[in-house]
């Protein structure tokens, strides 16, 4: 069994097209990129989580088969606009061999998704409801694999926002894996507690003075991780939206967020904003150590495969 990070970037990926900020310029120079955040679980069943606009390229890169089910965290386009790409699986089998793919989302999320992709329901996709706090029903879920939506808050424009906790049956006992997706806070404080593995959003390093996007910063993730006590943490949904000292022209762009009280190290100085995978990993390890979080942390990257028990 394994968890595959199909994508690890924010809504516009990294580097963002035509973005002149120092981070995006640096990423272009070194040839490093991130597609929109999406996950694949290869376990008792094959689960696709958050099929975004990059899904075709992600599926081809990893040479993945038809998923047994799809989980959608919320109704923002970067988390579901790839649903149409699943048609490749129906188009390439005899009609008599096809069964629609179960797709789970909350009722408020379906209110936004169905008008756009209603033509796929019943033929390509089997619409199913995800109810926060209740285990998902129907195949492929059962004794070997359970999934429970956890209510999160991601702003007024994402009323259907949830994360997911998956429980996998293993020879060593239940293995619990959580995915926060996009959030600014968890509505169920204990929903992500005691996980073996947590995939946590880290959209910003420093909490913005005004968090218009309702995304979780590394700064505000720290107390959550300390409270939830996961066995290990993977950070995802990274962006270029932090202010970057010395990049003043780019800092004036709409998408940039001025920090409030920045995340600081023991010396009282704000932590630097990382600009690539290596500096993100270095920062994450340093921050966790400085804040006495004895939890292994890894910054996820596109194509990362994590073996599971």
Instruction: Note whether residue 308 is domain-resident.
Output: no
Instruction: Note whether residue 307 is domain-resident.
Output: no
Single pTM value for the model: 0.98
- Can you say whether the dihedral through the CA atoms of 300, 48, 175, 225 is positive or negative? positive
Segment 140-161 shows an average pLDDT of 98
The span from the CA of 279 to the CA of 60, in Å, is 28
Segment 71-89 shows an average pLDDT of 99
The span from the CA of 152 to the CA of 64, in Å, is 29
Q: Encoding tokens for residue 185?
A: 């806070």
Looking at the chain, how many residues does it have?
309
Whether the per-residue pLDDT at 61 is higher than 90: the answer is: yes
pLDDT tier at 131, thresholds 50, 70, 90 = very high
Instruction: Note whether residue 309 is domain-resident.
Output: no
Check residue 54 and give its pLDDT. 99
- Count Cβ atoms within 10 A of the Cβ of residue 128 and give its class: 0-12 exposed, 13-18 middle, 19 or more buried: middle
Which structural domain, as residue segments, surrounds residue 100? Answer: 2-302
Find out whether 180 and 201 touch, Cβ atoms under 8 Å: yes
The interaxial angle of helices 218-228 and 277-290, nearest 10 deg, is: 50
Check residue 239 and give its pLDDT. 98
Domain total in the chain: 1
Check residue 299 and give its pLDDT. 99
Check residue 189 and give its pLDDT. 80
**Residue 223's domain is classified under what CATH number?**
3.60.15.10
pLDDT digits (tens, 9 = 90+) for 235-268: 999 999 999 999 999 999 999 999 999 999 999 9
Q: Encoding tokens for residue 182?
A: 């996009």
Q: Any residues with CB less than 8 A from the CB of 230 and at least 6 apart, and which?
A: 178, 192, 194, 195, 196, 197, 198, 295
pLDDT tier at 170, thresholds 50, 70, 90 = very high
The span from the CA of 295 to the CA of 274, in Å, is 20
Whether the per-residue pLDDT at 186 is higher than 90: the answer is: yes
Q: Any residues with CB less than 8 A from the CB of 64 and at least 6 apart, and which?
A: 4, 40, 46, 58
Q: Encoding tokens for residue 165?
A: 């906790």
Whether the per-residue pLDDT at 132 is higher than 90: the answer is: yes
Whether the per-residue pLDDT at 205 is higher than 90: the answer is: yes
Check residue 192 and give its pLDDT. 98
Segment 70-77 shows an average pLDDT of 99
């Amino acid at each position: 069994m394994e968890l595959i990070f199909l994508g690890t970037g924010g809504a516009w990926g990294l580097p963002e097209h035509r973005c002149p900020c120092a981070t995006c310029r640096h990423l272009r120079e070194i040839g490093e990129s991130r597609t929109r955040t999406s996950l694949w679980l290869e376990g008792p069943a094959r689960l696709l989580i958050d099929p975004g606009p990059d899904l075709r390229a992600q599926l081809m890169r990893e040479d993945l088969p038809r998923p047994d089910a799809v989980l959608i965290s919320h109704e923002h386009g970067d988390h579901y606009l790839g649903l149409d790409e699943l048609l490749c699986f129906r188009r390439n089998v005899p009609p008599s061999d096809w069964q629609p793919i179960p797709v789970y989302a909350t009722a408020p999320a379906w209110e936004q998704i169905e008008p756009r992709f209603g033509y796929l329901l019943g033929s390509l996709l089997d619409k199913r409801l995800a109810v926060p706090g209740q285990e998902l029903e129907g195949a492929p879920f059962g004794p070997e694999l359970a999934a429970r939506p956890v209510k999160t808050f991601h702003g007024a424009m994402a009323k259907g926002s949830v994360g997911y906790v998956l429980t996998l049956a293993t020879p060593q006992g239940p293995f619990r894996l959580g995915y926060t997706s996009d959030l600014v806070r968890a509505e169920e404080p204990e929903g992500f507690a005691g996980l073996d593995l947590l995939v946590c959003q880290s959209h910003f390093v420093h909490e913005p003075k005004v968090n218009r996007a309702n995304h979780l910063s590394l700064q505000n993730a720290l107390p959550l991780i300390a409270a939830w006590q996961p066995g290990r943490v993977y950070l995802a949904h990274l962006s270029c939206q932090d202010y970057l000292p010395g990049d003043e022209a780019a800092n004036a762009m709409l998408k940039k967020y001025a920090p409030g009280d920045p995340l600081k190290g023991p010396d009282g100085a704000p932590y630097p904003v990382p600009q690539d995978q290596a500096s993100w990993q270095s920062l994450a390890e340093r921050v966790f150590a400085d804040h006495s979080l004895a939890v292994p942390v890894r910054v996820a990257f596109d194509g990362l495969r994590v073996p599971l028990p």
